[in-house]
Chains A and B, each alone.
Chain A
Amino acid sequence: MAKKYLKEWNNELNICIRCAYCFEGCPVFKVTGWETDTARGKTILAYGVVSGELEPSQYIADKLFQCTYCRDCSERCSANVSVVDILAAARADLVEAGFASDTHKGMAKNVKETGNIFGDKEIKAPTQQGDVPVFIGCQYLARPNQTKMYLKILEKLGVKPLIKDEICCGYPLHALGFRKEFEEHKKKFLELYPEKDIVALCPTCAAYIHEEYGKNVKHITQAILEHLPEKNLGLKATYHDPCDLSRVMGITEEPREILKKLGVEIIEMPQNRKTSQCCGGGGGILMSDVNLSDDIASLRIKQAIATGAPLLITPCPTCEQVLKKAAAVMKEKGNGSIQVKNLNDIVWKALKS
């Protein structure tokens, strides 16, 4: 196997001091308990592959794909190792060597053919002229009611969104190792969005457009906070920080301030803000390893239920989806209940009242 992409990370692999600090918060490790599933385990595998000491195998590929890209490891790392960059490179080499899973291949094909990860030609952005380029993202586009709600919120707050006939931000292609497809897609994306400033609805799109394309990205919560009036909804809730919003974008306070402004009392989970525990929906495992994703989500929902709050609020469509499912399972099993809502529901409720 050629190690075209991984080779560039040789030095980073030597920088890792193998201290195991990345075990502490890794959601995959929390579920399986095997060191192989930690960031250290994965970087050791990457080292083995790049040094030629390990022959690439389906098992190794599976292990390198079993990661939610939550970056909890990098947050706690002794040596600031860019674990997800190493993984993305390893995945790219593995994909080129033919180790991509069928579901991931299907996703890449979908993006190429339809512009969205679902391969659904009916999914279309509600294009409109406006002042501020707003990027909706595949997840919200697949939920037209939520998209409408967000756009109405923005309009009510005096922001006029400019919506284009958008295509996927490209993150899934990059994260899942489809580099060639990504490079083509990237060109299209940058042609469509020459603007420097973008507001993004989805935390993952926001983080990716900011990191990969170097744009000034505002997440919708920042845009909302700037214009939001005070209300008193009189609710109690816990707040789940999406990994890309908290750890990558550093946006932890704005959503909390929104909730406070709307009279929502927040009961924090012990793992909050930059040490928030992942919901299990990222990194492609929702597509390729739904059981693992479910197990991770159930750990997080247990933490939410333990706060005693009747409601969990999150601004991420993927977190919302997987946590809703986990909450339903908890309830069915009689292990406590909590309602899961998207932040936009709360904001819309307040603005309507």
Chain B
Amino acid sequence: MPITKDSVRKLEDIVGTDNIKNDIADLYIYGSDSSVHKALASVVVRPTKTEQVQAILRYANAELIPVIARGSGSGMSGQAVPIDGGIVMDMKKMNRILEIRPEDMLCRVEPGVVDDDLNRALKPHGLFYPPAPASSRVATIGGEIANNASGIRSVKYGATRDSVLGMKVVLANGDLITLGSNTRVEASGYQLDRLMVGSEGTLGIIVEATLLLKPIPKFRCLARANFDKLKDAGESISEIIATGALPSMLELMDNIAITAVNTTLKMGLPDVEAIVMFEADGKVKETVDAEMKLMKEICEKHNGYGIEMSYDTAIRTKLYAGRKKLFAALSRYQMGLSCTSLADDMAVPYSKMAECASKIHEIAKRNNVVMTAYGHCGSGCMHTKILMDPTKKEQWEGAKRAVEEVYEYVRSVGGTTSAEHGIGLSKAPAWKKEKADSLAMLKAIKKAFDPNNILNPHKLQDAPEDWFSATEIRYPVE
């Protein structure tokens, strides 16, 4: 059903005139995220409380209007892009921290709370919320749950799914349900709260979340090691994990990433094939020392050298600066090339890290695009980006082939299409191949939750077969 003037009035009655936008300029802006996709919202609403979310969904369900929940729109796969128009429901105004319970190591928040804001509020209690995606300064808790976000410290603290105890969800028909509990363990039937994690707004709207917290470690030590061979770096990572060492961060940067950082930001990193960064944290310094010693020895065994290590915050910041500024560097890698979010994050088994990075380089070369390999390798996550001239059709042809070939490889080694950025539209074709034998079940689950298919339609299992033509592309392709 298209949005009519009457629908806008109805929605205005629910959220108030200050919380609705339908100028074409707003609809255009709310039609894209950090992916290559774009579409046009039909109307943007900003609920401030659960009852409003319920009322919006009741109305939309009766009128068969799509509803697309939106946090900050930092998703990289088009998850929040309103492919068919509809009501874009901006959740950022539901941003209250409802309670912090240090004695239970949990907090209760509304979905629009920004990750960093939550961590700022937790700090005086000596606690933190661990998932830490790089985008934590803008990503909302709702968006993180809906994507199962993770980050540099997930190697030790897990992904979002490991930090969510429960939640309140508004279903497509407007009903409010409570999932999970306030406890660390639960064996009470189907874990529907877990099902919501990573559901990308297709099963229900998260209106409240109960999150598990961790104590802020007293000591943190970071090291950076250089490798002349990517393979050696990969083997170090694999062995660090296999020996049972407990890094709180284990990152890889390939030579393209290093070159990007050096040429654009003059970082002065050594011009080697790979850099591995490893970190340990904890309450007892001797334990952290021991972890660091073990990881250092493993790196050295695999020809890692020039290892710099420090507990000092300023030095750690300096050691990590190249990785932190990588995105900026990739964006400026070469005049005329843009950094596109394609085939941007997959996970492969530890032993395949180095091979995966080499494959990515081969594939990029073959298809005349630039691709780098880096990521939170300690949790099996490999990031890349496709750097290309987004105005040229032939570059997109190359990118399409590269995406396909990368995922073919990832599947062949038992990896997965997305480690943390989600599936949305651009990764859906590859993901459907990965999940071929469970697609029917996934569709049945969607139908059970959302029989009228109003919640973020045409995503995940229902996404179009070709990502390139799924929506318009946000770049001016010739």
**Contact partners of A192 in chain B: CB under 8 A:** none
**Contact partners of B26 in chain A: CB under 8 A:** 34, 36
**Contact partners of A10 in chain B: CB under 8 A:** 476
- Cα A23 to Cα B73 in complex, Å, equals 11
B160-201: CB near A (< 8 Å → 1, else 0) gives 000000000000000000000000000000000000000000
Segment at the B interface, from A12-20, A148-156, A291-299: A12-20
The answer to whether B138 and A54 have CB atoms under 8 Å apart is: no
If over half of B's interface residues share one DSSP class (helix, strand or loop), that class is named, otherwise mixed; here it is loop
**Contact partners of B138 in chain A: CB under 8 A:** 19-21, 23-24
* Shortest beta-carbon distance from A34 to chain B in Å: 7
Q: Which 5 residue pairs are nearest across A and B when measured between Cβ atoms? A: A79-B331, A20-B138, A20-B74, A14-B338, A78-B327
The answer to whether A18 and B474 have CB atoms under 8 Å apart is: yes
Cross-interface CB contact of B28 among A18, A33, A48, cutoff 8 Å: A48
Nearest-neighbor residue (CB-CB) of A23 within chain B: B138
* Shortest beta-carbon distance from B49 to chain A in Å: 15
* Shortest beta-carbon distance from B325 to chain A in Å: 9
- Cα A273 to Cα B116 in complex, Å, equals 20
* Shortest beta-carbon distance from A116 to chain B in Å: 34
Cross-interface CB contact of B93 among A15, A18, A33, A57, cutoff 8 Å: A33
Interface presence of A60 (CB below 8 A): yes
The answer to whether A18 and B327 have CB atoms under 8 Å apart is: no
If over half of A's interface residues share one DSSP class (helix, strand or loop), that class is named, otherwise mixed; here it is helix
The answer to whether A44 and B74 have CB atoms under 8 Å apart is: no
Interface presence of A328 (CB below 8 A): no
**Segment 65-96 of B: residues with Cβ below 8 Å from A:** 72-74, 90, 92-93
Segment at the A interface, from B30-38, B302-310, B348-356, B397-405: B30-38
Interface presence of B359 (CB below 8 A): no
**Segment 52-87 of A: residues with Cβ below 8 Å from B:** 53-55, 57, 59-60, 63, 76-80
Give the interface size bracket for A toward B: 20 to 34
The answer to whether B331 and A17 have CB atoms under 8 Å apart is: yes
- Cα A60 to Cα B24 in complex, Å, equals 9
The answer to whether A41 and B29 have CB atoms under 8 Å apart is: yes
Known contacts A10-B476, A79-B331; A20 and B32 CB within 8 A of each other:
no
**Contact partners of A15 in chain B: CB under 8 A:** 331-332, 338-339
Known contacts A19-B135, A80-B332; A54 and B28 CB within 8 A of each other:
yes
The answer to whether B137 and A14 have CB atoms under 8 Å apart is: no
Known contacts A33-B92, A35-B90; A79 and B339 CB within 8 A of each other:
yes
B369-401: CB near A (< 8 Å → 1, else 0) gives 000000000000000000000110000000000
The answer to whether A14 and B32 have CB atoms under 8 Å apart is: no
- Beyond contacts A35-B29, A79-B328: 15 other A-B pairs, Cβ-Cβ < 8 A, are A11-B335, A14-B338, A14-B390, A17-B327, A18-B32, A20-B34, A33-B46, A33-B92, A34-B26, A41-B29, A47-B474, A48-B25, A59-B23, A77-B328, A78-B328
- Cα A40 to Cα B92 in complex, Å, equals 16
**Chain B residues with a Cβ under 8 A of chain A:** 21, 23-26, 28-30, 32-34, 46, 72-74, 90, 92-93, 116, 135, 137-138, 327-328, 331-332, 335-336, 338-339, 341, 390-391, 474-476
Listed by A's residue number, 7 A-B pairs whose Cβ atoms lie within 8 Å are A14-B390, A19-B135, A21-B137, A33-B92, A63-B25, A78-B331, A79-B328
- Cα A59 to Cα B24 in complex, Å, equals 9
Interface presence of A103 (CB below 8 A): no
- Cα A78 to Cα B116 in complex, Å, equals 17
Cross-interface CB contact of B391 among A14, A34, A36, cutoff 8 Å: A14
The answer to whether B21 and A34 have CB atoms under 8 Å apart is: yes
- Cα A33 to Cα B47 in complex, Å, equals 12
Nearest-neighbor residue (CB-CB) of A51 within chain B: B476
**Contact partners of A55 in chain B: CB under 8 A:** 24
**Contact partners of B338 in chain A: CB under 8 A:** 14-15, 17
Cross-interface CB contact of B30 among A11, A35, A76, cutoff 8 Å: A35
* Shortest beta-carbon distance from A295 to chain B in Å: 13
**Contact partners of A19 in chain B: CB under 8 A:** 34, 74, 135, 138, 327
Interface presence of A90 (CB below 8 A): no
Nearest-neighbor residue (CB-CB) of B25 within chain A: A60
The answer to whether A11 and B28 have CB atoms under 8 Å apart is: no
* Shortest beta-carbon distance from A67 to chain B in Å: 14
**Contact partners of A51 in chain B: CB under 8 A:** 476
- Cα A35 to Cα B74 in complex, Å, equals 12
Nearest-neighbor residue (CB-CB) of A56 within chain B: B25
- Cα A33 to Cα B338 in complex, Å, equals 29
**Contact partners of A45 in chain B: CB under 8 A:** 25, 28-29
The answer to whether A35 and B390 have CB atoms under 8 Å apart is: no
Cross-interface CB contact of A80 among B32, B34, B74, B331, cutoff 8 Å: B331
* Shortest beta-carbon distance from A203 to chain B in Å: 26
**Contact partners of A59 in chain B: CB under 8 A:** 23, 25
Nearest-neighbor residue (CB-CB) of B36 within chain A: A18
Nearest-neighbor residue (CB-CB) of B73 within chain A: A20
**Segment 194-221 of A: residues with Cβ below 8 Å from B:** none
* Shortest beta-carbon distance from A1 to chain B in Å: 14
* Shortest beta-carbon distance from A109 to chain B in Å: 29
The answer to whether B135 and A20 have CB atoms under 8 Å apart is: yes
* Shortest beta-carbon distance from A16 to chain B in Å: 8
Interface centre among B25, B73, B327, B328 (most CB of A within 10 A): B25
Nearest-neighbor residue (CB-CB) of B474 within chain A: A18
**Contact partners of A20 in chain B: CB under 8 A:** 34, 72-74, 135, 138
Nearest-neighbor residue (CB-CB) of B93 within chain A: A33
- Cα A24 to Cα B136 in complex, Å, equals 10
- Cα A54 to Cα B25 in complex, Å, equals 7
- Cα A21 to Cα B327 in complex, Å, equals 12
**Contact partners of A21 in chain B: CB under 8 A:** 135, 137-138
A1-32: CB near B (< 8 Å → 1, else 0) gives 00000000011001101111101100000000
Nearest-neighbor residue (CB-CB) of A79 within chain B: B331
* Shortest beta-carbon distance from A107 to chain B in Å: 25
- Cα A57 to Cα B24 in complex, Å, equals 10
Nearest-neighbor residue (CB-CB) of A80 within chain B: B328
Nearest-neighbor residue (CB-CB) of A14 within chain B: B338
Nearest-neighbor residue (CB-CB) of B88 within chain A: A35
- Cα A48 to Cα B31 in complex, Å, equals 12
